[in-house]
Amino acid sequence: MAIKSPVTHSEHVSLVAQFPADQIIENYRQRGIQVARFFKDVPTVELYECLDTGYRFYYPGTIFGDGQFYADLQEAHNQYYAREKWEHTYAVSKIRPTDKVLEVGTGDGFFLETMKNKGIDARGLELNPRAIEAGRARGLQMDEELIEEHAARHEGAYDVVCTFQVLEHIYDVRGYLDACLLALRKGGKLIIGVPNNNPYLYKHDKWHLLNLPPHHAGLWSKKAFMALPGFYNVTVENVIVEPLRNDRGEYREWYEVQVEHQQEQRPLLGKVMSVVPRPLYKIGMKLLSPFIVGRNIVAVFTKL
CB 205 within 8 A of CB 169: no
CATH architecture of 83-201+292-303: 3-Layer(aba) Sandwich (3.40)
Per-residue pLDDT band at 173 (split at 50, 70, 90): very high
Domain boundaries, the chain: 83-201+292-303, 246-290
Query: What pLDDT was estimated at residue 280?
Result: 83
Q: State mean pLDDT over 191-199.
A: 84
The pLDDT value given to residue 97: 95
Q: Residue 250: what pLDDT?
A: 75
Instruction: Give CA torsion, residues 206, 213, 124, 114, to 10 deg.
Output: -30
Find out whether 126 and 105 touch, Cβ atoms under 8 Å: yes
pLDDT mean across residues, the chain: 89
pLDDT of residue 304: 97
Pairing of strands 184-195, 158-164: parallel
pLDDT at 274: 86
Helix (H) or strand (E) holding 242: strand 234-243
pLDDT per position as a tens digit, 42-53 = 999 999 999 999
pLDDT at 201 over 70: no
pLDDT for res 78: 59
State how far the Cα of 135 lies from the Cα of 247, in Å rounded to an integer: 29
Q: Choose between 70 and 137: higher pLDDT.
A: 137
**Can you give the pTM of this predicted structure?**
0.88
Q: Is 303:185 a contact under the CB 8 Å cutoff? A: yes
Per-residue pLDDT, 207:
81
